[in-house]
Amino acid sequence: MVPSLAEMAVTNPRLTKDVLSRVITFANGKGGVGKTSCSANFAGLCAAAGWTVLFVDFDAQGDAGNDLGYKDTEDNDRGAHMLQVLDAHKPLQPVLRQVRPNLDVIPMGRRMLKMIEHVLEGKRQRGTEFRLMLAEALAPIARDYDLIVIDTPPDRPDVLQLVFGATRWLVIPTKSDRSSIGNLQDLSEELEEVRHANPDIEILGVVPYDFDTNAGRIKRNAIEDIHAVLGDASDVFYDADDEVVFIRHSNAAVDARNAGKLVHELAEMAQDEEEPWWQALREGRKVDRIPGSVGGLAGDHLLLTNAILTRINSFEEAQESA
């Protein structure tokens, strides 16, 4: 009998590493910190740039379905397929194909995630290692994609362990106040818990989310706090000018989610619809504020996407030359 990936990975950790080296998970034990917004926009921007992407939703709220606009479509199985995969060992397939060009999705919903938790709980009680089940399910289709992006729920430790078992790179969005950063200690402990099953998981970087763009001092403190909690190996992301990459506070995020659009899509639509901001000035009409809000937020997500890909690339290059 051919040994399963989970069995082989115990003796050969490199196996999961090679097949699943591009699994990027957005996690933080807390809710409302930008996991879904960042992961959905990252996946969508990568797909728009030409990478083939599989987005795997493990968030009970299924908010990614709002951001990507598939929430109320007929084909949204709200996690039924993933439950079958984990419970009955059905082969994993993308449920929603081409949600955008190059972007496939495996959706999730509250009910199915609860049932998945039951499955994991059962395995735990029987002493069965469940942490590599998702890795094992993803491995056969991983080569169809350049990137696999996973969104996670808050407060569901077993689900998080399952996802971490399949994760190469962890991206952590967080609010930038001291207490939110302090809470990352819990996440760091969950990470250590999974390490014996998946030694390859690493924190790629931390993203200050919902950021007050004018607060330079807060920015510096936040970075120091992040180092203090997660260790010096963990850092925020930087852009080409060495500026910290953050996601600013902007109501455009809510508008985008309500419209079933990613932020850059909303920005493109706004550009199409709106007259140039200088038109009113030139014609002596009432001048509105410059429509920069959605553009600014779209720019933040673009910088973040670029920074994530750049950092993965530099790790991969270093590994190849090692």
Ligand X SMILES: Nc1ncnc2c1ncn2[C@@H]1O[C@H](COP(=O)(O)OP(=O)(O)O)[C@@H](O)[C@H]1O
- Contact residues for ligand X (CB under 6 A)? 31-37, 63, 210, 247-250, 253-254, 257, 297
**Residue of this chain nearest to ligand X (CB atom):** 253
Joined together, the tokens standing for residue 116 give: 């998945």
Give the interface size with Mg ion as a residue count (CB under 5 A): 4
Judged by CB under 5 A, the residue of 28, 36, 66, 76 near Mg ion is 36
User: How many Å separate Cα 312 from the centre of its chain?
Assistant: 14
In angstroms, the CA 242 to CA 115 distance is 45
Q: Is 59 in the site for Mg ion (CB under 5 A)?
A: yes
Question: DSSP E strands: which ranges in 185-248?
Answer: 202-211, 247-248
Binding piece for Mg ion, criterion CB under 5 A, among 51-59, 110-118, 165-173, 216-224: 51-59
- How far does the chain reach from its first CA to its final CA, in angstroms? 35
Binding of Mg ion at residue 39 (CB under 5 A)? no
- The CB-of-293 to ligand X minimum distance in angstroms stands at 10
- Distance in Å, CB of 183 to ligand X, minimum: 12
- Which residue from 182, 150, 112, 189 is spatially nearest to 35, judged by alpha carbons? 150
- Residue 254: name its binding partner from ligand X, Mg ion, none (Cβ under 5 to 8 Å by kind): ligand X
Q: Which does 138 bind (CB under 5 to 8 A by kind): ligand X, Mg ion, none?
A: none
Q: Does 41 bind Mg ion (CB under 5 A)?
A: no
Decide: residue 190, CB within 10 A, 0-12 exposed, 13-18 middle, 19+ buried.
Answer: middle
The alpha carbon of residue 318 and the mean position of all alpha carbons in its chain are separated, in whole angstroms, by 24
Nearest residue to 33 via CA among 165, 257, 227, 183: 183
The one segment of 62-70, 205-213, 217-225, 304-312 that binds Mg ion by CB under 5 A: 62-70
Q: Note the residues at the interface with Mg ion (CB under 5 A).
A: 35-36, 59, 63
